[in-house]
Structure 1
Amino acid sequence: MATASAPSLLDPATHAARWIADYRARAIQGDVLGTAPDPAWSAMFEELAAVAGDDLGQARERVQRHAEDIGTGFRIIGESEERPWPLSPVPLLIDAEEWRTIERGIVQRADLLESVIEDLYGDASLVTRGLIPAALVGGSPFFLRPMAGLVPPGGHHLNFIAVDLGRGPTGEWRVLADHLRSPAGAGYALENRLAIARTLGGLQSRLNVQRHAPFFAAFRDGLAAACRRVEPRIGLLTPGRYSASYAEQAHLARYLGFLLVEGADLAALEDKLYIRTIDGMKRVDALWHRIDPRLLDPLAFDSHSHIGVAGLIDAAAAGNVVIANAPGAGVLESAAFGAFLPALATRLLGADLILPNIATWWCGQDRARNEVMDDFDRMLIGPAFGVAPLGLPGGIALHGADITGAARDALLDDMARRPQDYVGQEIVRLSTMPVVTDAGLAARPFTLRVFAARGADGGWVVLPGGFARIAEHPDPRAAVMGEGCWSADVAIHGAETVAPVSLLPPADTIHVRRNPGTLPSRVADNFFWLGRYLERGEALLGIVRVMLGNSIDADAGAALSAETVGRLVGLVVSGGGAPHPATLRRSDLAAFARTAMEDAGWHSVRTINRLARGIGQGSRDRLAADVVRLLDAPYPNKGGMLDRAGSLQRRYAALSGLSAEHMGRTAAWRFHDLGRRLERALSVTRAVRAFGMAQASLDDLSTLLDLADSQISYRQRYLTGIARVPVVDLVALDPGNPRSLAFQICRICEHLAALPVLEDDGMEEPQQVQGSVLTAIVSTATAAALDADILGDVERRLFQLSEAIARRYFLQGAEPLRAAGMTLA
């Protein structure tokens, strides 16, 4: 008879059992793991041990690496740099039965919120009947009067909502906050799931975890169904790359197939909304916005807004564009409304809230204010309308007992003057969940953000999960949690098998297309200048490397002549890379080279890298992850200048290789390569004029070959030494040399011929005319006759070409709306 073998110390189940036992021994009452064995949590920790062994820190590093590979990040308001998204390797597990109650509660709440908003912007019967105080509406900065009487296209004010939930120590769920203006976080929930799926690959099937794709498909279909056109064009309106959640917005736009647009991309004309594209003006049927609704339209709301679209609300009022969510919906985000929603639910829905609010008292009513003052030290004191009143300059709710001294006196004085600006709320104690810290598993309080969206039938669909925010400290009070320190995936699991649903349609139903779709003018502009900045940085770096290798570093060989060095210096100074050095001595040249490479106050290599990086961050929805990583890489700071220059040169080469070999030959690539070619043509033109004119020395000609990266080509072709005419011919006029001026102009003309035109009369547009003139000049020139005047004319025409490209394709302002030939489709 066989005997069962003892479990191995290396067995994942052994690690999981030990982790759970140790954790439960230290966790406080009400933790999600509970005290009884739970097969789901055991399975999750076994999956974790299978990939990380006994090292939970390795699991944390692995999931963080996956999150960074996906491109997940966020920005603190006021900071210019993105931070990595903090993801815990331990997901929050919720049983499907428990989730069904949460789901029903979210749908009920969404219906209630829609009913109240519809009434407030309709006949306002809830105010006239006394169910909602008029001051609660009129005093809110989020109530937008221009929306009164406007029925949104599709008939709904709310298309997408987020709700923050807290789980109490006894397992009950309560609503902490509603997010209705521009709810954020759904992209983070999606990215968390992707990172966890890559880390714990077997968890999905082992626990039958419900998938996110059907929710996002339903939301996309719901927006499309609200539009008038059968095949609508939908945009995700972002405030730009400095938005706190721009990375999330870019990921969502890419995943949903929406155009990621900014206000400057859009224009309203004759009560319709258009996007500026390289093909002209194209209709936009729906906008999912992620900006403050008060900034959406400077004509309707805040006249100082520079990120909105003038006339957008008129287009919505005419039924020609769906705005999700409708401006003004945020009036119900105010904490003060929490005091009235329970009674409104009973009156409007005929039932109590399935997910109750935290108890709230609005101090604008005498009875509620007296209760708050009586229990001041046992309540949270917070702003009523989401903006900081005088007594709470930080704008966040504080525990009354923690407010002392002068701060307490100032708060009480302001509450006496303007009680309507304040609310009192009960202090909620939160459940805890496990998170991986440096010391191992630790219990931390958490909140759960849940999302709901309207489907194609107008009904609500709830995302199965959402994401959890986990506090940094073990204090279970919701008041001290803030925004949290970690996030966690939320896995809804059950006994029923989950079909492997994807947001993508079945392969055999996809209509094959080779047109990549609409290219907004701003994106074309960004790709064009990304190419120019990368080429400009590489050219400046080439000048510095020639100077470092041949003039400053005595061990590298004979120094260049003073005249040649002076011309190199002149190229850098004319480009704004550095101020002219006092002398051409080695010490002054070294300082000059360092400025040209690293001084952020000049148009140095570091500055050019920063500009390119900014464009990359604003175009991450269209750039490969490898390109974004290279652009985001820190400026090298180790080794000497030559070492740093070499490191940067390799980075530029990698970016050039990625664009040449990995970018599809779309219009976006054409603008990127067009920028590169135009900038390289300018660099070669200036170099030939500086080093290739009559009386050029051997040092000049050798430097010209170095700057044009053509030393090897020249030596293979000419064995008798360096001479001016063949050098100038190779660098300027040889169409077979990929570094030559002629080659760049050929490529420029090819791109211009392939890009869209506005007329079908067969006549060249201005940018094409400039290309043809440049082609004629270069193709008819000879190296012997090429002089400074001809090269000056070429440089001037290259600048004119750049301006013509910008006028035609990078549509800005109101002028394109009236220009003849602009397509309106």
Structure 2
Amino acid sequence: MLCAARGVEREAWLTAFEEIATTSAGSLATARERAQRQADDIGTGYRIAGENDERPWPLSPVPLMIGEREWQGIADGIVQRADLMEAILQDIYGEGKLVSGGRIPAALVTGSPFFLRPMQHLTPPGGYQLQFFAADLCRDPTGEWRVLADHLRAGTGSGYALENRLAIARMLGGLQSRLNISRHAPFFAALRDGIAALCNRSDPRIGLLTAGRYNQSYAEQAHLARYLGFLLVEGADLSVLDDTVYVRTIAGMKRIDALLRRLDPRMLDPLTFDSKSTIGVPGLIDAMAMGNVVLSNAPRSGALEAPAFSAYLPALALRMTGQDLKLPNIATWWCGDEDVRDHVERELDRMLIGPAFGVAPLGLPDGKAVLGSSLSDDQRELLLADLARRPQDYVGQEIVHLSTMPVANGDGLVARPFTLRVFAARGPEGEWSVLPGGFARIGDNPDPRAVLMGEGSWSADVCVHCAEPVDPMSLLPAPGSVRLRRNPGTLPSRVADNMFWLGRYLERGEALLTVIRVLLGNSISADTGAALAPATLQHLVDLITGAGAAMPPPSLDRNALVEFARAALEGEGDAQSVRAINRLARTIGDGSRERLAADMVRLLEAPFPQKGGLLDRAGSLQRRYAALAGLSAEHMARTDAWAFHDLGRRVERAQEIAHMARIFLAAEPTHDDLLTLLDLADSQISYRQRYMSGVARAPAIDLIVCDPGNPRGLAFQIAAINAHLAALPVLSDDGIAEPQQAKGQAIAAKLSVARAERVDAALLGELEQELGRLSDAISRRYFLQGAEPLRAEGLTLA
């Protein structure tokens, strides 16, 4: 592409490389590192199916340059194609004239797994089937753009295009003004305003419906929801009542007017489609049928994604629009027609053979398209046999050769094939807006045949450069029109639940780590063996085993305790070791990235320490916990999300303090017991500053349990818990304490009259149990899920 460029196109490429050289000291390797760092800072990532961990989004520093005239041709073709898809969907789910008139075979529609019979004759709000459309394009060596695939169910990728643009704009700041690069904001404004225009309220609440954190593009969805100002919701967050959709929030049930869905349509509603779906919303389709919720796109839109449909699109375009396709398909033959099947069999070695409806047929076990010429004798025999049995399951397609673009490889450039995903969104007046650029996927394999590129190994920003300056539009309102607000908006119950338990797990891991470090650092000496009395060591062992972190050691000698501590720190399996608790915290962090700072997400995702001795690794983890606590205390805005995170920390710390003190007070504590308890409560310095004499029972217990001024003490945690509960939303205005508030106040009252001399294991046991019941009450009140009654007393619907 670069070598073929002439005139303005060539100047644009040269300008791009000048910017790359200027910002990266002439090193392409440095440019590649900088681009990747920007993508990582934004938090861009993706997941491979079957993997638990996200991978960093691979971004090339070299953008794809396209001139405005060439781009206008692409945009016109995309709009034509989107209108054609809308018309076909209206027909096959309505009057069915295309089938009855013989324009398309009935089996092409009714035989497709994407055709959803319950959606027939159902008119979605606004009457449109599509509010969003995406297509994968390729450019052949002659320069002609062609369509490889259409995406109508859930066109993933617009968020990645946005993230690519943000990263490249940070890296190549001068490119925008020098080349008048078209902006992305008008497209996203059209998408947002177009969905809002179909709702029944002037200020609608819109959500982005995701399958959850294990979805391959969850990071993109979280970023897109933040940018558009949509709530990021899962099926479990939503409920349908009286054909109206509500999101469960900490302030009750709040109405949802529209959903930009990233969920497979067959999973949307177990009452209408797949009854086994656990990620959908029962009754959602009924709510749509009543016009109470907009689903973008309408669930039935996926019927046209089947590759078999591509065989009929050229003729349908000519009949229904009076024009040929401006962006032609790659040539496709559906084998459901006998004559076509014979042609495909004859030309097998010069074709690509793939599934007709996206489902793997027996002749293609892995479900992917293959080059006919690459088949072994056994594979060919298997394919031809199944093609004879079920020809309707197969399509033949021409083998497409892709043009290439420059990619940084070390300190040099190499040519690699690419595809381009382009997006269109319907605006508030029903008009289509095309995202100027989309994003490019680049193959690692220099072979230009599309089938060998696969999904691509790199992505690139796509810059549409113009002759005249472009309007500097942004989704942000003008400074003078910004309405001040200090509330970030609705907090779904699931998010509050996640933040609460993230706080609990981080505090639990830190408390367990403290016990392990005390056991390793203060109880074992390399020269003299145990430095603490056996009874005190046994208390530490009991704390660890009681937490389920490790099995009891066979003895209290040095080697046994070291292995015991190692298991509690790094144990796998069912043990609640520090490693296991870290994994739980990371899981929650993955699902709440839209609420957490990037630094906090990186700390949660950091690998478990491997270097150094056991005590060194424990120290490394302790510093990580301290950093996480500092970020949440000093960098999180004091929103309801932070309140639940801190509330979780306080509840967990209060339970841990009560539990530790109970263990050490089960019998009359020794000097070693009291010193160790002060260590575990991180109160040694406070004690020494307050008392000049040696450690004694009453002063130590007063500091750890009764003193509301000790931030590591029990009384301080109870006060903080009650302050949070008093500030969080309530469901009634009668002024009477809700159950969670009443339980918190009762614990505070019991503790306020306690005297250090009389605090014993029995009282601490009662407090520990009451704190557990308080946690349950908080969950019942705020974390509305599953079978929770939707009309609970006082529950607000808004």
After superposition, give the CA deviation of every residue in 1:615-662 in whole Å (9 maximum; x if it has no partner).
001000111111111111111111111111111111111111111111
After superposition, give the CA deviation of every residue in 1:443-482 in whole Å (9 maximum; x if it has no partner).
0010000000001111100000000011111111111111
Structure 1 CA distance for aligned equivalents of residues 711 and 5 of structure 2 = 71
Structure 1 CA distance for aligned equivalents of residues 189 and 315 of structure 2 = 34
Could you tell me which residue of structure 2 aligns to residue 4 of structure 1?
A: none
- Alignment of 1:714 onto 2:692: no
Give the deviation of 1:55 after TM superposition.
Answer: 1.8
Q: What SS does the corresponding residue of 2:596 show, helix, strand or coil?
A: coil
Amino acid corresponding to residue 686 of structure 1 in structure 2: H
Could you tell me which residue of structure 1 aligns to residue 172 of structure 2?
A: 200
Could you tell me which residue of structure 2 aligns to residue 161 of structure 1?
A: 133
TM-score scaled by structure 1?
Answer: 0.95
Could you tell me which residue of structure 1 aligns to residue 723 of structure 2?
A: 750
Q: Which aligned pairs between 1:747-786 and structure 2 lie closer than 5 A?
A: 747-786=720-759
Could you tell me which residue of structure 2 aligns to residue 442 of structure 1?
A: 414
Of 585, 593, 609, the match for 1:620: 593
Q: What SS does the corresponding residue of 1:328 show, helix, strand or coil?
A: helix
Q: Which moved more, 1:682-691 or 1:464-473?
A: 682-691
Q: What SS does the corresponding residue of 1:487 show, helix, strand or coil?
A: strand
TM-score scaled by structure 2?
Answer: 0.99
Q: Which aligned pairs between 1:479-494 and structure 2 lie closer than 5 A?
A: 479-494=451-466
Q: What SS does the corresponding residue of 2:73 show, helix, strand or coil?
A: helix
Amino acid corresponding to residue 818 of structure 1 in structure 2: R
Q: What SS does the corresponding residue of 2:732 show, helix, strand or coil?
A: coil
Could you tell me which residue of structure 2 aligns to residue 592 of structure 1?
A: 564
- Alignment of 1:611 onto 2:584: yes
Could you tell me which residue of structure 1 aligns to residue 713 of structure 2?
A: 740
Of 530, 536, 546, the match for 1:564: 536
CA contact (8 A) 1:99 1:492 kept: yes
Structure 2 CA distance for aligned equivalents of residues 450 and 285 of structure 1 = 27
- Alignment of 1:211 onto 2:183: yes
Structure 1 CA distance for aligned equivalents of residues 411 and 35 of structure 2 = 18
Q: What SS does the corresponding residue of 2:567 show, helix, strand or coil?
A: helix
Amino acid corresponding to residue 563 of structure 2 in structure 1: A
After superposition, give the CA deviation of every residue in 1:648-686 in whole Å (9 maximum; x if it has no partner).
111111111111111111111111011000000011101
- Alignment of 1:423 onto 2:369: no
- Alignment of 1:792 onto 2:762: no
Structure 2 CA distance for aligned equivalents of residues 592 and 160 of structure 1 = 57
Of 609, 614, 619, the match for 1:646: 619
The alpha-carbon distance between structure 1 residues 271 and 556, as it changes in their structure 2 partners (threshold 3 A), is farther
Give the deviation of 1:32 after TM superposition.
Answer: 4.1
Give the deviation of 1:422 after TM superposition.
Answer: 0.4
Q: What SS does the corresponding residue of 1:815 show, helix, strand or coil?
A: coil
Of 68, 81, 89, the match for 2:53: 81
Structure 1 CA distance for aligned equivalents of residues 564 and 103 of structure 2 = 73
Could you tell me which residue of structure 2 aligns to residue 10 of structure 1?
A: none
CA contact (8 A) 1:691 1:703 kept: no
Could you tell me which residue of structure 2 aligns to residue 400 of structure 1?
A: 372
Give the deviation of 1:748 after TM superposition.
Answer: 0.3
The alpha-carbon distance between structure 1 residues 556 and 53, as it changes in their structure 2 partners (threshold 3 A), is farther
Structure 1 CA distance for aligned equivalents of residues 482 and 291 of structure 2 = 30
Structure 1 CA distance for aligned equivalents of residues 178 and 564 of structure 2 = 63
CA contact (8 A) 2:350 2:372 kept: yes
Q: Which aligned pairs between 1:547-586 and structure 2 lie closer than 5 A?
A: 547-554=519-526, 559-586=531-558
Could you tell me which residue of structure 2 aligns to residue 329 of structure 1?
A: 301
Q: What SS does the corresponding residue of 1:392 show, helix, strand or coil?
A: coil
After superposition, give the CA deviation of every residue in 1:39-87 in whole Å (9 maximum; x if it has no partner).
1111100111112223211110110011001001100000001111111
CA contact (8 A) 1:174 1:357 kept: yes
Give unpaired runs (5+ residues) of structure 1: 1-30
Moved over 3 A (4+): 553-558
Q: Which aligned pairs between 1:449-460 and structure 2 lie closer than 5 A?
A: 449-460=421-432
Structure 1 CA distance for aligned equivalents of residues 777 and 41 of structure 2 = 39
After superposition, give the CA deviation of every residue in 1:257-291 in whole Å (9 maximum; x if it has no partner).
00000000000111000000011111000011111
Percent identity reads: 67
- Alignment of 1:802 onto 2:772: no
Q: Which aligned pairs between 1:139-538 and structure 2 lie closer than 5 A?
A: 139-438=111-410, 440-538=412-510
Structure 1 CA distance for aligned equivalents of residues 257 and 361 of structure 2 = 39
Structure 1 CA distance for aligned equivalents of residues 673 and 659 of structure 2 = 13
After superposition, give the CA deviation of every residue in 1:265-319 in whole Å (9 maximum; x if it has no partner).
0001110000000111110000111111000000000000000000000000000
Q: What SS does the corresponding residue of 2:616 show, helix, strand or coil?
A: helix
Could you tell me which residue of structure 2 aligns to residue 25 of structure 1?
A: none
Amino acid corresponding to residue 614 of structure 1 in structure 2: T
The alpha-carbon distance between structure 1 residues 595 and 557, as it changes in their structure 2 partners (threshold 3 A), is closer
Give the deviation of 1:164 after TM superposition.
Answer: 0.3
- Alignment of 1:700 onto 2:679: no
Q: Which moved more, 1:707-716 or 1:496-505?
A: 496-505
CA contact (8 A) 2:351 2:399 kept: yes
Structure 2 CA distance for aligned equivalents of residues 608 and 115 of structure 1 = 53
The alpha-carbon distance between structure 1 residues 553 and 33, as it changes in their structure 2 partners (threshold 3 A), is farther
CA contact (8 A) 1:165 1:173 kept: yes
CA contact (8 A) 2:125 2:294 kept: yes
Structure 2 CA distance for aligned equivalents of residues 374 and 413 of structure 1 = 14
CA contact (8 A) 1:32 1:431 kept: no
Give the deviation of 1:760 after TM superposition.
Answer: 1.2
Q: What SS does the corresponding residue of 1:425 show, helix, strand or coil?
A: strand
CA contact (8 A) 2:68 2:464 kept: yes
Q: What SS does the corresponding residue of 1:818 show, helix, strand or coil?
A: coil
CA contact (8 A) 2:524 2:530 kept: no
Give unpaired runs (5+ residues) of structure 2: none
Give the length in aligned residue pairs: 795
Could you tell me which residue of structure 1 aligns to residue 646 of structure 2?
A: 673
Structure 1 CA distance for aligned equivalents of residues 30 and 454 of structure 2 = 27
Structure 1 CA distance for aligned equivalents of residues 459 and 5 of structure 2 = 24
Amino acid corresponding to residue 369 of structure 1 in structure 2: R
Q: What SS does the corresponding residue of 2:163 show, helix, strand or coil?
A: helix
Structure 2 CA distance for aligned equivalents of residues 697 and 557 of structure 1 = 20
CA contact (8 A) 1:549 1:556 kept: no
Q: What SS does the corresponding residue of 2:594 show, helix, strand or coil?
A: coil
Q: What SS does the corresponding residue of 2:138 show, helix, strand or coil?
A: strand
Q: What SS does the corresponding residue of 1:276 show, helix, strand or coil?
A: strand
CA contact (8 A) 1:428 1:478 kept: yes
CA contact (8 A) 2:530 2:558 kept: no
CA contact (8 A) 2:747 2:770 kept: yes
Q: What SS does the corresponding residue of 1:267 show, helix, strand or coil?
A: strand
Structure 1 CA distance for aligned equivalents of residues 340 and 668 of structure 2 = 92
Structure 1 CA distance for aligned equivalents of residues 72 and 773 of structure 2 = 64
Give the deviation of 1:510 after TM superposition.
Answer: 1.4
Q: What SS does the corresponding residue of 2:273 show, helix, strand or coil?
A: coil
CA contact (8 A) 1:95 1:493 kept: yes
The alpha-carbon distance between structure 1 residues 694 and 389, as it changes in their structure 2 partners (threshold 3 A), is closer
Q: Which aligned pairs between 1:629-640 and structure 2 lie closer than 5 A?
A: 629-640=602-613
CA contact (8 A) 2:665 2:761 kept: no
Could you tell me which residue of structure 2 aligns to residue 728 of structure 1?
A: 701
Of 614, 629, 633, the match for 1:656: 629
Could you tell me which residue of structure 2 aligns to residue 11 of structure 1?
A: none
Structure 1 CA distance for aligned equivalents of residues 207 and 706 of structure 2 = 46
Q: What SS does the corresponding residue of 2:609 show, helix, strand or coil?
A: coil
Structure 2 CA distance for aligned equivalents of residues 673 and 808 of structure 1 = 17
The alpha-carbon distance between structure 1 residues 404 and 740, as it changes in their structure 2 partners (threshold 3 A), is same
Q: What SS does the corresponding residue of 1:816 show, helix, strand or coil?
A: coil
Structure 2 CA distance for aligned equivalents of residues 621 and 69 of structure 1 = 14
CA contact (8 A) 1:152 1:316 kept: yes
- Alignment of 1:128 onto 2:100: yes
CA contact (8 A) 1:165 1:176 kept: yes
Amino acid corresponding to residue 715 of structure 2 in structure 1: A
Give the deviation of 1:558 after TM superposition.
Answer: 6.9
Of 111, 118, 122, the match for 2:90: 118
Could you tell me which residue of structure 1 aligns to residue 30 of structure 2?
A: 58
